[in-house]
Chains A and B, each alone.
Chain A
Amino acid sequence: MKKNLPIIIILILLAVLPLVGLSSYIMHILVLVIIYSIIGMAWNLLGGYCGQVSFGHAAYFGVGAYTAGIIYSKLGVSAWWGLPLSIFVVTALSLIIGFICLRLRGPYFALGTLAMGEVLRVTAENLVKFTGGDVGILIRERTWVGKIWYYYIILLLAIGTYLLVKIVIESKLGYYFVSIREDQDAAESMGIDTTTYKTIALCLSGAITGIAGAFYMNYMGYIDPKVVFNLHDISIVTIMVVMVGGVATYWGPTIGAIIMVFLAELIRSNPSLGAAHQTLFGILLIFIIIFLPNGIVGDFPKLRKLFRLGGTPT
């Protein structure tokens, strides 16, 4: 109980937060933070624990969003049904992508998934009859005008994701994942069917990202291929969220999402810096990789030592 106390306090704080009367802009940023931390946790499951670095999480995000969008625009069903439905659609997609890309190892897998994300973007742009092409999909009637309910829904999804990741990683499955990351050949020779477990990790990771995508459709009310299949704003920012926060840690993605989203808003709201936001992101990424390769949470002891050394006068 004592171990879980900080988590419970954080949860209560998060639950009470919208009641304080925050402006709708702040609420929007909070929702974005939670969306990115969900995708980050999903990426971390595959990339951090299983060692399969994916550059194509926009594929799952986008397909999730388009599942919700298409059932709304073509079947006239509420886009909220997209959340449960996207699990099946995205899992099927993950199986296909896994069949193709999991033959590749390491950096080659990374590029294979990157290509998959781009394939889906171009497909969504060209299948005009189905997806509306570059025009995108617009939900005309929003479910709620305020953001509070959206906030609670995405918060619940985030808690669910957190618990799922924790349960998976602390089960036998988690140990299989880590063994694959550490040495795939050794894992295989110990009798672990690496392809199966990598596929499981990919499907779990993809499905969670897909739900986040379906939520995004409901929340934003508008999607187009350039937004939801965006290589930089989804796939690479997801990687940055995890790299900055901490690879293979429970809280890393959340911390990373808070830093990245607030940083992005800060840079964008400053007119002289706004144009340079990708440069600053890139420099931050290079800096993190060289000096804090395991992220803020992962290299926390290192950081603390650094600050203690700097803080105490000699």
Chain B
Amino acid sequence: MAVQIELFLQTLIAGILLGGLYALIGIGMTLIMGVMKIINLAHGELMMVAMYISFWLFTLFHIDPYISVLVAAPALFFLGVGLQKFLINPVLRVESILPENQVILTVGIGMVLANLATIFFTSNYRSTPVDYATKAFYLTDFWKDAPIELSLSMAWSLSFLIAVAITVALWFFLTRTDTGKSIRATAQDLDAALLMGVNVRKMRVVTFGIGCALVGAAGCLFLPIYYLFPALGGQFTLIAFVITILGGLGSTNGAIIGGVILGIFESMTATYLGMGWAPVGRFLIFVAALVFLPGGVASLIRSKKLGK
């Protein structure tokens, strides 16, 4: 019995830690979706680019992946701004039969990024052998005669804490600064924001940049605990999308909750059903969200508030 509780709690902890990182990926996508009304299907590929930046900084200059967030996130910000200015904005102006052209465009961007990474960095699996990767905190270290033993990997908890810090910083940015408020106004009602004197065009560019920077930061945080290969993007794009659907489209709070739910659910399926089924669990929860909760977690939060 104790073993089973131990397994369950351990899985739960792993899920929450994973969920915190997922939330960071999801927030980036949901911000872009809210403001620009387009889905960025190159999201995972952008994360992959950030991971390579972080990887090379580590390999060449021995810069810790956590410190390289400070390099990779701004780099991704400018990459995002560039993509938005030179590729996505022109397409928004082009007349065409299908309005989904922008989505297909981001697929094209993703393909190019993934393939270029394969050409330049080969498709080998890589990782950063940081010396704290195998260190962990144990429950028995703090509580001598604990009935169960739980461990907490140091790299995982560091990544999680930094992810939470970035999320809090973003929350302050969105609610306390002028730029942040303008971004939220643009997401809420584009025309009204325009009438209130918000530079909508600039906000779009900035939002795309911030979304990319967030996923870039997430990439650096994933690097010490995960491995890296050029085709990794597609998987994370899907994760980001599942989180946004789960959380409610365009809702930042929803994305955080959605990320944590997905993280827990995924680590549960991995423990109890086997690793191969974890992706299926991811999609099951996605389908369930679509069928039973089309508005996502955000709609639940809203209805609770209205109920009071």
- Seen from chain A, the residues whose Cβ lies within 8 Å of a Cβ on chain B are 47-48, 51, 53, 55, 99-101, 103-104, 106-108, 110-112, 114-116, 118-119, 122-123, 125-126, 181, 231-232, 236, 239, 243, 247-248, 275-279, 281-283, 285-286, 289-290, 293-294, 298
Contacts and interface: CB of A to CB of B under 8 A. Distances in A.
Contact of A108 (B39, B101, B283): B39
Q: Which of A104, A232, A278 has the most CB of B within 10 A?
A: A278
Interface of B: 38-39, 41, 87, 90-91, 94-105, 107-112, 114-116, 118-119, 234, 238, 241-242, 245, 249, 276-277, 279-280, 283, 286-287, 290-291, 294
B99 A106 contact: yes
A231 B283 contact: no
Contact of B100 (A110, A112, A123, A236): A110
A290 B98 contact: no
Contacts of A278: 111-112, 114-115
Contact of A126 (B111, B116, B277): B277
Contacts of B109: 282, 286
A126 B103 contact: no
Nearest to A128: B276
Query: Mostly helix, strand, loop or mixed at chain B's interface?
Result: helix
Q: Which of B90, B238, B287 has the most CB of A within 10 A?
A: B287
Nearest to B98: A247
6 smallest CB-CB distances across A and B, nearest first, come from A293-B96, A282-B111, A285-B108, A278-B115, A282-B112, A53-B100
Query: Mostly helix, strand, loop or mixed at chain A's interface?
Result: helix
B270 to A, nearest CB: 13
A111 B97 contact: no
B112 A283 contact: yes
Contact of A282 (B38, B101, B108, B234): B108
B111 A243 contact: no
Nearest to A236: B107
Nearest to A114: B238
B101 A293 contact: yes
B104 A239 contact: yes
Contacts, number: 133
A282 B114 CA distance: 10
7 contacts: A99-B291, A111-B241, A247-B97, A275-B118, A277-B115, A278-B111, A286-B87
Contact of A279 (B97, B116, B280, B287): B116
A290 B90 contact: yes
A269 B222 CA distance: 37
Contacts of B286: 115
Contact of A118 (B108, B279, B291): B279
A114 to B, nearest CB: 7
A106 B115 CA distance: 27
B94 A115 contact: no
Nearest to B241: A111
A13 to B, nearest CB: 30
Contact of B104 (A100, A289, A298): A289
B97 A294 contact: yes
Given A103-B294, A290-B90, A294-B96, 18 more contacts: A53-B98, A103-B291, A104-B290, A107-B38, A110-B103, A111-B245, A112-B245, A115-B283, A115-B286, A243-B104, A279-B112, A282-B109, A285-B111, A286-B109, A289-B94, A290-B87, A293-B97, A293-B101
A162 to B, nearest CB: 20
A289 B290 contact: no
B115 A53 contact: no
Contact of B280 (A47, A107, A126, A298): A126
Contacts of B291: 99-100, 103
B39 A283 contact: no
A198 B108 CA distance: 27
Contacts of A286: 87, 105, 108-109, 112
A112 B290 contact: yes
Given A107-B103, A110-B103, A231-B234, A118 B283 contact: yes
B283 to A, nearest CB: 4
A286 B102 CA distance: 10
B65 to A, nearest CB: 27
Contacts of A293: 91, 94-98, 101
